[in-house]
Amino acid sequence: MRDEGDEDIKLREMYLSARNTDVRFRFWGKVAKYLAVVLSIYIIMDGLKPILVPGAENEIKALSYLVSAIPIGSYLGYILFLFVSLLYFKERTGKKRAIKEKARLQKLLEHNEPNRTSSNLTETGDTPKGD
């Protein structure tokens, strides 16, 4: 006959072990991502080193051609648009999640009260498609 406490302890140990493994994978994944970014910057800067080293007039002209060939203004606008769009969708998703959780709790509260009415919104707070 087993003790339920022993089984509970073993389950908790297994859960903590799995959680520990997950934390380690996430940590080393972030380390690898940041190392890749640093290595990429190093490779780019090392490639630009011959152009950036003070020297002949041709090297300075090559750098000016490189800078003038990159349309930074238009790329910056697109990057800014994508960044703001991602922030908007992330924020909207968070609001919908919070509204959905509130709706679930409100339904539990109103379950036994026949005199309370709701506004017929969906669980995420949107207007129903039929309206």
- Which of 50, 70, 90 is where one domain is finished? 70
- Which of 29, 53, 70 is where one domain is finished? 70
Q: Which residue segment(s) compose the domain that 34 sits in?
A: 1-70
Which residue, chain included where needed, has tokens 């707070």? 125
What is each CA distance from 108 to 5, 94, 118, in whole angstroms?
A: 33, 22, 13
79 pLDDT above the threshold of 80 = yes
90 and 45 share one domain: no
Cα separation of 60 and 52, whole Å?
8
16 pLDDT above the threshold of 80 = yes
> Domain count of the chain?
2
78 and 27 share one domain: no
Q: How confident is the model at residue 11 (pLDDT cuts 50, 70, 90)?
A: confident
63 and 78 share one domain: no
Q: How confident is the model at residue 85 (pLDDT cuts 50, 70, 90)?
A: very high
Q: How confident is the model at residue 101 (pLDDT cuts 50, 70, 90)?
A: confident
What is the rounded average pLDDT of the residues 12-34? 93
96 closest CA partner among 118, 125, 128, 119: 125
60 and 89 share one domain: no
The predicted pLDDT at position 90 comes to 92
46 and 84 share one domain: no
Q: How confident is the model at residue 1 (pLDDT cuts 50, 70, 90)?
A: very low
Mean pLDDT of the chain: 79
106 and 118 share one domain: yes
CB-based contacts of 100, cutoff 8 Å, min separation 6: 123, 124, 125
86 pLDDT above the threshold of 90 = yes
